[in-house]
Structure 1
């Protein structure tokens, strides 16, 4: 489930409501668009209902780390996946609840800003530890499979920090959201003394959505990671606080009603197991195809969806488009109207390559043990938009005939 976030417009200061995946923010009052950039994990605070006689400067906030994403793993002769949404303590404190439960999803949160008075307790649990704990869920889920792990990948994940407001009254520690006592205040007072104030790097900053090349307005949807300029036909991704152009193209259809879905076309190099060309990909995955000369002349290229999907659909789309890539013609740098937003970053697409290879393998018992010694080096990356025709409940790719249910595409934007 998404977080609902209360935020002020960076241009006019009006209150606006966001969702966790939002990056392109359009203010309904001044109608100015800004692109939000975080300098680390996003930090939120739950709304408190502390009594009026509690000084705001005496409040303090305990960190909780939230992981949301998909975990793919290979064990024995099986490839599995799990959707995880968990919130756990960002510090070790017995007096505090081990988790925030459903509260982050049930009530709106606010971005941490310098206007919030009080003390923020120091986060002592590293994000890596939370990922390891989330990975344990896959171990528990696969206890019946008595075999070693060969690979694990986190795809489409988001990591954030949510602060639980607290206060001390009559030497009793209270949860400021529910106003229920948690523990005696002695140890809590020591916790508060070890905290610190707000740090300026916690607040995200915003970029003006003007094309760096021609100055025209960049376009995209609220959850777009890539913005487009329809004036000079360029695409832009944020890197280190600035917009940088990316290589992209579109396989333009003669049909004007097409809907275009984005894919990362990643050309890779791997010297392991003789995996160098597309023909090698067909052999190692044991595809029931006759290897032709054209396959040996094709580079080793993976086609990865640039948008979030349920794990099973994500693997199926990546596998099928990769296997049928010979049918896809070259694209051209031409903007079209109906373009699905890019919601999966390039680096996450690269992390998915082993999972897609494993998903394509017909003999997983033979291929999966090879994964620990296999590595891919990206040589080039291009964003490609492919045309899909609207068939009512499904979208069907024009050149390959691969279909995707509209409901699955819609649900993917909530992951």
Structure 2
């Protein structure tokens, strides 16, 4: 049996709950569909508010060849194959789910066919198309913004489900409480209906009385909830970072997979890796920062699905690297002293002296140029007098930073007590 959300998917605009500003009487989109003259479009909105449904309704109404691709799994090859089929049929509608996951080359492959009218493009995205969709594709498309569903609309969906679905009609269901259903689904109609079906299936009672506590218990046991804007988002990214910090590549990969499958923004993941490379590894392995930065750049360049491999490489490398939080401790200590002591005067000998008057005032006087001395080092004071001798950076207990500790101790002797 199909999931409830699929069994109840609307086939006409009149059956669609929500998005009245787009699909209501005299709306632009409804008129365009009725006239069979739809433009290429980008449907932008949160998950489960009707983007795919609207695309299916358009296909059903226009009765033209209709192709669907998911940017998660499709590449340039699949796009070109659809374009070739559409060319032979003279025209077709191509729906691309999560179009923001297409990289530039994948989106560029669509341009010629859209311009020539070979395909009418319908792209669905949860991300701001101004940032995530190729400007050339965007300029040839109409952007329609879909709104989150209200609680009243979500309740309408539940009532329709109990009235229209044959299986649910055979049950005696009392919706005593709905807060948990609405909160967990987060305004996502598909998630709401499938969770509702799961709760009804799980509860072995007659009548079936649905309460918030029952929904929470079932959801925690049976549903892997991942909401990019909700609590689970923060729990998963926290587990991900802590797994890498704890040098467990297997756990890190598991949470990476959870985020990827949940539709997390891959650039968000890559940004966190760049931060982690300094926060948790730092000088214990300076190459970690280089790899993390390259990973971020590659994710931006390559796009999904190939970028998951790049993320996997970076995650396993960072998890398997020596760890040090010395960089975090050092800057925190320095900021603490700045907060306590304020704007202490910079020693005169290391001040900049761009003018003759500044030189006459003693700016830069007595500065020793390190490269003029043996081993490119000369013992001189750089900190303000009030805090001279203060040590902020304490090298971590790892082979690489032990080398740094020995080097600094050899230079500064007992001054900084390395």
The bucket for the TM-score relative to the shorter chain is under 0.3
Larger Rg: 2
Structure with more of its chain in strand, by fraction: 1
In the superposition, the TM-score normalised over structure 1's length comes to 0.26
Q: Which has the higher contact order (CA 8 A, sep 6+)?
A: 1
